Amino acid sequence: MSVVSYQLEGDIGVIRLNNPPVNALSHALRSGIQDAVTQAQDDASLALVLMCEGRTFIAGADISEFGKPPMLPSLPELLIVLEASKKPIIAAIHGTALGGGLETALACHYRCALPSAQVGLPEVKLGLLPGAGGTQRVPRLTGVKAALDLMTTGAPIAAAQALNIGLIDKVVEGDLLSAALDFANEVIEQGAELKRVRDLEVDKTATSAEYFAELFTDYRKTLSKRFRGQEAPHRIVECIEAALNTPFDEGLKVERRLFVECMQSPQSWALQHMFFAQRMSSKVKGLPKDTQLKDIKRVGIIGGGLMGGGIAMNFVNVGISVTLLEISQEALQRGKDLIAKNYAMTVSKGKLTVELATQRQDMITGTTDYHDLADMDLVIEAVFENLDIKKQVFAKLDNVCKQGAILASNTSYQDVNLIAQSTSRPQDVIGLHFFSPANVMKLLEIVRGDETSNEVVATSMAIAKSIKKVPALSRVCYGFIGNRMLRHYAREAQLCLLEGSTPQDIDAVMQNFGMAMGPLAVGDLAGIDIGYKAREGLTDEQKGDVRTYCIADALYEMGRLGQKTGAGYYQYDPDTRQRSVDPVVLEVIEAQAKKMGVERKVISDKTILERLTFALINEGFKILEEGIAQRPSDIDVVYAFGYGFPAYRGGPMFYADTIGLEKIYHTVCEFADTYGEEFWQPAALLKQLVEEGKTLTQWANS
């Protein structure tokens, strides 16, 4: 069946695209459009309508063609054919017109859209820029500022906004084909003018050259802060400057040159890897396709604190009612007040109406009685990280919850198998590790116990999607994927502090690498007491070498718990929470170094970076060889979406391949000689792949 059809509807030629599920711009689609437009030049049509079957307009490139040799016609070549048509072409948009889809519409002479439609140019999210004239056509329609906003954020906008800034010509109601045919007839009645965007100039009326120079300078500064280390946003700015200052064809040459540079950049490879990794992370190896999903209509949450309240918000935001359980009415009220405060902040930012915020809060029912959880389809425990307390909670749930209910623990490192053993139904127990703040962070680490059923795993994956989370499956071990690796990252940060670095040295290195925050600043944000209390429940053997936590413990004992007390590794302004260097911390570090018999020396930025990132990577290899993670890309998803690892580096395991496994292996061996084998033992899988001359990607695909 052809993906493109063409037929006359009176005086209008209608080109219909049908390439399910999202009408991606495959070679067949491009060829079909070109053939239809060419055919229409010699028939009785007076105008053409380009529209799509199914649920959406062209939603972008065909990802199955990524990395393959280009096939003609390329998208830029197709758009030349569209724009050169001697008969006006009207793009009729529904669903989403994204990336190359919007660029296709921009090459048409007119654009109409349903009110529910959205348009956007998300290429920047893949480390790319619009490469088929988008950077040149958009500013000619919208002006410079709107074009910068649209392309550097990559966020889609609604049809009404697209109309307001000039991207489309008309918002139409009702049946799209009928409305598009009416619009086409209007165009014919008005003389069938060929409104080619390439013939326009970027609007400079009443605006000086100095204004644009200042705008571009300020925008680059903003991008440097918002997208630290990323190249594509800045190249987009350069393209839009070309649109402002050069003829259309010259601007296209600039766009093409910079697009090729982006395509060939490690950042784009990494971001494309993350795109596919995110899609893959929801797939469970060995899970039968006919696995039945449980119907989740009512959710119970135990614990109304920061985590429990945030988790509750996830569910009511998508229309699933929640029963929130606390130990007392006072605690319950505190939890509800915290939720109300979170919603009030969202309302104040204009992201939610007061009415909708109230409606969502009304979907949360409070209780102090476990029996009110009897009819829940899913219950999530979000109490203090203490195994004995969690086991007591699950024993109660086992007594009151209906058969078949999913019993989940929001634990970040406790043994899900031991928690499951406190029930008579371990097959229904799973870990659902949300990240703080739970109503914001995208990652959901799903921890499968030894006896967790396929139905519970599959349902948990579906739940993640329904509440707009990115799932990653882990088996049971201390800390699962994320926190198990984080221990080694944090260990090296503490050892670097002890051996000669300062908090600002370490944090600056990791922020310059692209981490959202450095490890010591993160410690202050989370609270130094969190790690201290977690260690309280461990044996000395489990705690490990005292050098890896002596500084943190010393700060805790001084009452320096981080931002919550105004002081931790840094001093914090009580009003702005702006951090500053505190000489007291260096005194603490030097005192602990003397106590441990460590001679402090200057540590280079390169060494800091390798010690922290290679510690993550080496532990990631151990997690893979033990089967804790399904695939390397799942680890990358965990770190990009849960721990602030720069997506443009592809996550720690993809980053390992870009550095070269041989370099990592030999450096780890050198670190073992220099810093001690108790901290540095190269993973067996890492050694194996180096000996076999394979990359991690090759191993994962074998």
CA distances from 681 to 149, 421, 488 (A): 47, 33, 12
CB burial of residue 309 (10 Å; 0-12, 13-18, 19+): buried
CA distance 692 to 34: 48
Helix (H, G, I), strand (E, B) or coil at 579: strand
The mean pLDDT value for 232-247 works out to 97
CA distances from 48 to 40, 282, 283, 394 (A): 8, 41, 42, 64
pLDDT score for 539:
83
Residue type, 617: I
> What's the start-to-end Cα distance of the chain, in Å?
34
The mean pLDDT value for 672-683 works out to 95
Please name the residue ranges forming H helices in 95-173.
100-107, 134-142, 144-153, 159-165
The mean pLDDT value for 569-574 works out to 95
Domain 483-627+660-701 bears CATH identifier 1.10.1040.50: yes
**pLDDT, tens only, 201-213:** 998 876 788 889 9
Cis ω before 266 (30° cut-off from 0) = no
The mean pLDDT value for 299-324 works out to 96
Question: Which of 226-230, 348-352, 521-525, 541-545 is least confident?
Answer: 541-545
Catalogue the active-site residues.
Answer: 103, 123
**pLDDT, tens only, 638-648:** 999 999 999 99
pLDDT score for 38:
97
Give the global pTM.
0.92
Whether 399 has a pLDDT exceeding 70, the answer reads yes
Domain ranges of the chain: 4-262, 298-461+473-478, 483-627+660-701
Contact 563, 525 (CB under 8 A): yes
Phi (first) and psi of residue 430, to 5 degrees: -150, 160
Please name the residue ranges forming H helices in 51-123.
75-83, 100-107
Contact 113, 179 (CB under 8 A): no
Contact 444, 432 (CB under 8 A): yes
Average pLDDT, the chain: 95
Contact 368, 346 (CB under 8 A): no
| Helices then strands, each counted (H, E), the chain | 30, 19
Six-digit token string for 283: 């797939």
Mention every residue, 6+ apart, whose C-beta is less than 8 A from residue 26: 3, 19, 62, 64, 65
- 298-461+473-478 folds as Rossmann fold (3.40.50)
Contact 29, 4 (CB under 8 A): yes
**pLDDT, tens only, 583-629:** 999 999 999 999 999 999 999 999 999 999 999 999 999 999 999 99
Among all chains, which residue has been given the structure tokens 């707009």?
A: 468
Whether 542 has a pLDDT exceeding 90, the answer reads no
Whether 658 has a pLDDT exceeding 90, the answer reads yes
Residue 62's nearest CA partner among 27, 97, 87, 34 is 27
How many CA atoms, within 13 angstroms, populate the side-chain half-sphere of residue 508? 9
Question: What pLDDT band is residue 1 in, cutting at 50, 70 and 90?
Answer: low
- 4-262 folds as 2-enoyl-CoA Hydratase; Chain A, domain 1 (3.90.226)
Among all chains, which residue has been given the structure tokens 């049809």?
A: 159
pLDDT score for 69:
83
CA distance 407 to 395: 11
The mean pLDDT value for 422-447 works out to 96
Six-digit token string for 686: 């890492």
CA distance 310 to 312: 5
Question: What pLDDT band is residue 332 in, cutting at 50, 70 and 90?
Answer: very high
CA distance 258 to 254: 6
Percent of the chain with pLDDT over 70: 100
Residue 424's nearest CA partner among 400, 442, 443, 440 is 400
* Eight-state DSSP code of residue 567: B
pLDDT score for 623:
98
Six-digit token string for 481: 């994927």
Helix (H, G, I), strand (E, B) or coil at 80: helix
CA distance 595 to 547: 10
